[in-house]
Structure 1
Amino acid sequence: MIDRKNTRSVKWGNMEAVYGVEDASEVLPMWIADMDFKAPQPVIAAMQERLDHGVFGYSYICAKCKDAVRTWLSSRHGWETENDWMLFHHGVVPAIATVVETFTNEGDNILITSPVYPPFFNVPGHQKRNIVECKLREENGKYSIDFDAFEKSLQQGVKLFILCHPHNPGGVVWTEEELRNILRLCKKYDVLILSDEIHADLVLPGFKHIPLAVLAEEESGRVITCVAPTKTFNLAGVQAAVMITKEDDLREALQQSALAHGQMELNAFAASALISAFTECEEWLENLLETISSNMDYVISTLTEAVPGIQIQKPEATYLLWIDYRGTGLSEEEMMDRLLNKGKLALEPGSKYGEAGRGFLRMNVATPRTIVEDGVERFIKAMQ
């Protein structure tokens, strides 16, 4: 148990602004996607060593950083990359913004499959791009892609498709067949793909992540992949991400964009954290995945038994539960009012992920079991 209050934590300290509750100190936050676990000790030690040096001048991305990413992707996912394919950024969301700005123009159409992570809507929208929304097919909380609808969406002059892989909030690990269909159709309509794979290392036991770029070589698809250690090792506040593409022209355009914006390299602490995470912390990750899976099993069995009308499909990836409350008959406004004011529990409303998410709630279970149990008790209390 780590007390995160008074640490400028968005999750624990900013609920009053986000939810409008009068006394946020009474509300348990299980919403935004960061963990309540300490980062791995090797990462902390690496950052402490850098801190102890005492000089924090300009930094650059060394070969050791790229080697760490390359080796991790090879051993963990069977993806053989090259150091020259990598460009670094301050986060996956800023990387998405850079790709949107670099490869599309105002008024261009960008395709997303909803419900999906809000920046997929917001970032292109703020850049005055048009969102083409293809709703995922949903059955009992399990999502798949409707490829007839997907192709019709591509026919609307789409320039860029942003893929959430694995999917947030649905927790889907896309299959090889689905990924090949995406590549085939995007190639047919000459659409660039941005594959956000920040949750790739949070695939639960029994499932396997396939990097889209691995299949793209066979399908001749044009892909930019975003990966990061930040979601996996709870380093969101350190800010580090990698954009990877084997296409020289795509990398050159991204480099020109970086120059145009005066984009600097990763800071000294981010580089140290990235190297340590990808070279020393695999055992920590395996333990984490067991903990997440166990927490999910507890929430699913307890909530679905205690609250009529609640259904939860166990995710294949992420540490986020997507709770279907449509069977309760409550509106989103009624559900959020009960949770916040009666249960004193902060979850994310599904409509935040697009209208396709209405009727669902997102719960973060990457937290000690005592907090998970407290959250479940609060949920049950809210529904009594």
Structure 2
Amino acid sequence: MSVFDEKIDRSKTASVKWELTKVIFGEEDLWPMWVADMDFKPPKAVLDALKKRLDHGIFGYTFVPNTTSQAIVEWLFKRHQWEVNPSWLSYCGGVVQAISTAITAFTNEGDPIIIQSPVYTPFFDMVEKNNRKVVNSPLIREGNKYKMDFAGFESALKEGCKVFILCNPHNPGGRVWTKEELLKIGELCLKYNCLILSDEIHSDLIYKAYKHTPMASISDEISEKTVTFVAPSKTFNLAGLHSAVAIIKNPTLRKQFNQVQKRQGHFGLNIFGIVGMEAAYREGEAWLEDLIDYLEENKNYAIAFLKKHLPKITCMEPEGTYLLWLDCRELGFSDEELRQLLLEKGKLALEPGPKYGPGGNGFVRMNIACPRDYLIEGLNRLKKALS
């Protein structure tokens, strides 16, 4: 039995995934496979470090020590062969917060910002809520994978876009962009003097046949025009600790980013975010390797189940993340009909595709980072709803 087979009761823990499902979806007794957190405990080393800090008993003002920065730098080099200087790190409460800070720091109201739909919903939100303009360069579907539309992207750049928000790896489609793809998109951004904000929060969750390439590692020129965001939250299931990092090589950009953070009143991380992050990056690698194996088994199980029981649903082949992007269009339902069948007949909560912008209609997103029995329960509910 794998440690990831353990079933943990998350009720009465203020879990968004398990306790807000009724509020968000409006139905009782739903099986939650929507929001992107895992139903697994983090590595034992992380729990031990948090307990040790708790037992100390004093929780005064805290700074991020050099040991934490060094742990992050060593992790990035070991996992992704990316050499980062500790001085490039700026700490943030979360990646979405950091993207909003970057938008504020590097653009003005009304400025156009490129995104590639379908894509993680807060990309739209952070652009629009900061009174900037979304310029969409939709991804192209080729078989069961997305690819970038380079010609369309260059056309979007010609609108005067100052910033491009990249999702690397891609959420919800699961693409792990290749070095060649990133080089091409990066060179276009250099040509038009467009800054790259690279959300790499899923970068450690890569299946064995693929490799993550940090955008800022492509070339010295591209690294000077890239702000990268990483966090232990997806990798080690630590989202509730609110700890993330912006990696900014360019000192002018780093100064602008830090000035906006200070203006907004952000001064470092909470105690447990610091402790949990350092322990995860220092001692969590063996646990992560086991997790990736388990997730790959879940992915393969789910795809085989769909082919057997729901052959009209096509799963975009994920290369990374623990998310399945399910194409339900061949079933012939509208998005509203799909929603009602899932909620009322299947009692299953999945993320609706239209949330992810143009190209999301007819899709749903399923989170498979759960014990195998939970996955089987969810798939059976999907079958009940849609077969």
Please give the TM-score of this superposition, normalised by the length of structure 1: 0.98
1:192 aligns with 2:198: no
Q: CA–CA distance in 1 between the matches of 2:207 and 2:78? A: 17
Alignment partners' CA distance in 2, 1:156 and 1:215 = 25
What is the SS of the residue equivalent to 1:158?
A: coil
Q: SS of the counterpart of 2:233?
A: coil
CA RMSD of aligned residues (A): 1.0
Residue 370 (1) aligns with residue 373 (2): yes
Q: Does 1:251 align with 2:254?
A: yes
Q: Structure 1 pair 159/339, CA: closer, same or farther in 2 (3 Å)? A: same
Tell whether 2:7 aligns with 1:7: no
* Rounded Cα–Cα distance in structure 2 between residues aligned with 1:338 and 1:378: 10
The one-letter amino acid of 1:11's match is K
Question: How far apart are the structure 2 equivalents of 1:127 and 1:206?
Answer: 39
User: 1:306 maps to which residue?
Assistant: 309
3-state SS, counterpart of residue 277 of structure 2: helix
For this pair of structures, how many residues does the alignment match? 381
Contact 2:224 2:249 in 1 (8 A): no
1:353, 1:79 → 2: CA distance? 30
Gaps of 5+ in 2: 1-6
Distance 2:260 2:169 in 1: 27
Gaps of 5+ in 1: none
2:22 aligned to which of 5, 16, 21:
16
User: In the alignment, which residue of structure 2 is the partner of 1:353?
Assistant: 356
| Contact 2:241 2:272 (8 Å CA) reproduced | yes
Q: CA deviation at 1:177?
A: 1.2
Partner of 2:180: 177
**Per-residue deviation, 1:12:** 0.4
Aligned counterparts of 2:78 and 2:52: Cα–Cα separation in 1:
27
Paired letter, 2:24: V
| Cα pair distance change 1:237/1:78, threshold 3 Å | same
Equivalent residues of 1:216, 1:222 under 8 A apart: no
Instruction: Kindly provide the amino acid, as one letter, of the partner of residue 165 in structure 1.
Output: N
Per the TM alignment, residue 221 of structure 1 is displaced from its structure 2 partner at its CA by: 5.0
Corresponding residue SS for 2:90: strand
Structure 1 residue runs of 4 or more that deviate by more than 2 Å after TM superposition: 218-221
Structure 2 CA distance for partners of 1:374 and 1:328, relative to 1, 3 Å = same
Correspondence for 2:163: 160
What percent of counterpart residues are identical? 48
Cα contact 1:199–1:318 (8 A) shared by 2? yes
Alignment check: 8 A CA contact 1:322 1:360 kept: yes
The amino acid of 2:381's aligned partner reads: R
Q: How far is the alpha carbon of 1:303 from its aligned partner?
A: 1.6
Distance in 2 (alpha carbons) for counterparts of 1:215 and 1:308: 39
Instruction: Give CA-to-partner distance per residue, 1:1-45, whole Å, 9 cap, x none.
Output: 001112111100001221121x2xx21000000000011111011
- Which residue of structure 1 aligns with residue 240 of structure 2? 237
Q: What corresponds to 1:42 in structure 2?
A: 45
Amino acid at match of 2:94: G
SS of equivalent to 1:80: coil
Q: For 2:187, give the aligned amino acid.
A: R
- On the 8 A contact 2:95/2:231 being kept in 1, the answer is yes
Distance 2:40 2:186 in 1: 37
Indicate the residue corresponding to 1:94 in structure 2: 97
Q: What is the deviation of 1:304?
A: 2.2
Contact 1:165 1:173 (C-alpha < 8 Å) held by counterparts:
yes
- Confirm whether residue 133 of structure 1 aligns to residue 136 of structure 2: yes
1:356 Cα shift?
1.1
Three-state SS of the structure 1 residue aligned to 2:219 is helix
